[in-house]
């Protein structure tokens, strides 16, 4: 046994490349659960498969051609942009403000941090269903409050654009806790001496925030922006639980549309094509974003 251990150590020590062997489990999992599904998704997107039959035929680029003229896809794409960038904007502002607030010392600070972070630990679907019962027309909590003040009940999710806005808002406040934690970690890594030096030089609070805190927080911005944008672009649970894409198809995100096309509409081939579009788009946005933010970080860090 001891001998075996030694020989293993010698084997790894003999060639640094042998260390890459240790990544094997991760690589296998990645291939199984990411690479293979993507390749089979590309394959399915060229077929008319209904999602369950053993038979299907190849239809060339038909699915992709159909996508260009399908109003469902474009509405979902527009909504996805709103979900992605809209909630990132709100989440970043809220998260940063909360982080600034909660990095100062006051009574109940750690309790407040927990409460704000709590929703981020709940599954999106559950958050969605809870909110559904708040904004729903029949016995919805919001309408009950309106009735209490003598107003008329409102069917909140019945207008497409309003539904999209409500979902964006709910997503933002549910997950701003995550952003806050990232910024809090970032804030704590800024040495106090910078701010001290600035205050000695006569900088006011805004100036020290603008020229010290923000640049020093850039790595945190990179992380949170990338995570939030991906999260928003992948928006699924909230849409399914709150509107199921409705009214009509007005609040679908690309993800929920893909789900509906695949399972409800039995258009697995077409669904896969929309999935490919969504995949390429998210990769594109993230490569651009990463490039830009890395450039910014380099600028500030010289």
Partner 1 sequence: MKKLFTIVLVSFCTIASLMAGGSKEQAADDGALHGSLTVATNASSPTFEAVEKVIELFMEENPGVEVEYTTYGSDYENLMKARMAANDLPDVFATHGWAVNRYAEYLMPLNDLELSQRISPSVIDTVTTDDGSIVAMPITMEQSGIIYNKTILKEAGWDHVPRTLDEFYQCCEDVKALGIAPVYITGKDTRIQANMMDIMAVSMLITCNDAGDNAERLYDGTFDWSKWAPVSSFITELRDRGYTNVDATTADPIYTQEKLAFGEAMFNFNNQAMITSAWELNPDADLSMMPVPAFHEDDEQIWIGGERECYGIWKDSPNKELAIALLEFMARPENAKIVCDMAGMPAGFIDIDSEQKLSEDYAQFADLKIYPYFDREWLPSGMWATMRTIGGALTAGEMSVEDSCRAMSDSYLSLMSQQ
Does 263 participate in binding partner 1 (rule CB under 8 A)?
A: yes
Does 256 participate in binding partner 1 (rule CB under 8 A)?
A: no
What backbone torsions phi and psi does residue 47 show, to the nearest 5 degrees?
-120, 175
**b or e along 53-69 (b: 16 or more beta carbons within 10 Å of the residue's beta carbon)?**
eeeeeebeeebbebbee
Does 155 participate in binding partner 1 (rule CB under 8 A)?
A: yes
Residue 14 burial by CB count (10 A; 0-12/13-18/19+): exposed, middle or buried? Answer: exposed
Of 253, 109, 237, 95, the C-alpha closest to 175 is 95
Does 103 participate in binding partner 1 (rule CB under 8 A)?
A: no
Q: How far is the CB of 53 from partner 1 (least distance, A)?
A: 7
Does 58 participate in binding partner 1 (rule CB under 8 A)?
A: no
Give how many residues touch partner 1 by CB under 8 A: 35
Q: How far is the CB of 93 from partner 1 (least distance, A)?
A: 29
The nearer residue to partner 1, 215 or 246, going by C-beta atoms, is: 246
Q: Which stretch binds partner 1 (CB under 8 A): 48-56, 96-104, 115-123, 281-289?
A: 48-56
Does 157 participate in binding partner 1 (rule CB under 8 A)?
A: yes
CB 195 within 8 A of CB 139: no
- List all residues 6 or more positions away from 54 whose beta carbon is below 8 Å from its beta carbon: none
User: Vertex 99, ends 97 and 102: CA angle to 5°?
Assistant: 110
Ranges within 120-149 binding partner 1 (CB under 8 A): 132, 136-138
Indicate the DSSP class of residue 18: G
Does 63 participate in binding partner 1 (rule CB under 8 A)?
A: no
Q: Which stretches of the chain bind partner 1, using CB under 8 A?
A: 48, 50-55, 57, 59, 66, 72, 132, 136-138, 153, 155-158, 160, 243-250, 261, 263-267
């Amino acid at each position: 046994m001891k001998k075996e251990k030694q020989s293993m150590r010698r084997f790894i020590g003999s060639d640094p490349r042998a260390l890459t062997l240790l990544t094997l489990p991760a690589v296998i999992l990645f291939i199984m659960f990411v690479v293979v599904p993507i390749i089979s998704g590309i394959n399915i997107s060229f077929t008319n498969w209904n999602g369950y039959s053993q038979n299907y035929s190849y239809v060339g680029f038909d699915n992709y051609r159909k996508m260009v003229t399908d109003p469902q896809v474009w509405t979902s794409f527009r909504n996805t942009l709103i979900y992605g960038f809209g909630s990132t904007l709100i989440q970043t502002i809220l998260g940063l403000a909360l982080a600034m607030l909660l990095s100062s010392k006051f009574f109940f600070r750690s309790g407040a941090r927990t409460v704000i972070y709590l929703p981020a630990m709940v599954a999106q679907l559950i958050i969605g269903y809870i909110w559904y019962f708040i904004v729903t027309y029949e016995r919805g909590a919001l309408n009950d409050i309106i009735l209490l003040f003598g107003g008329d009940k409102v069917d909140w999710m019945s207008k497409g654009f309003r539904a999209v806005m409500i979902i964006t808002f709910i997503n933002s406040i549910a997950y701003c806790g995550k952003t806050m934690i990232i910024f809090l970690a970032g804030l704590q890594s800024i040495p106090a001496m910078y701010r001290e030096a600035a205050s000695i030089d006569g900088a006011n609070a805004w100036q020290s925030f603008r020229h010290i805190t923000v640049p020093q927080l850039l790595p945190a911005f990179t992380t949170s922006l990338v995570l939030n944008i991906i999260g928003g672009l992948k928006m699924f649970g909230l849409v399914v639980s709150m509107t199921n894409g409705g009214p009509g198809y007005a609040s679908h995100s690309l993800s929920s549309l893909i789900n509906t096309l695949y399972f409800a509409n039995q258009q697995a081939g077409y669904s896969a094509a929309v999935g490919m579009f969504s995949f390429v788009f998210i990769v594109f946005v993230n490569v651009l974003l990463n490039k830009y933010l890395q450039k910014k970080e380099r600028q500030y860090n010289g």
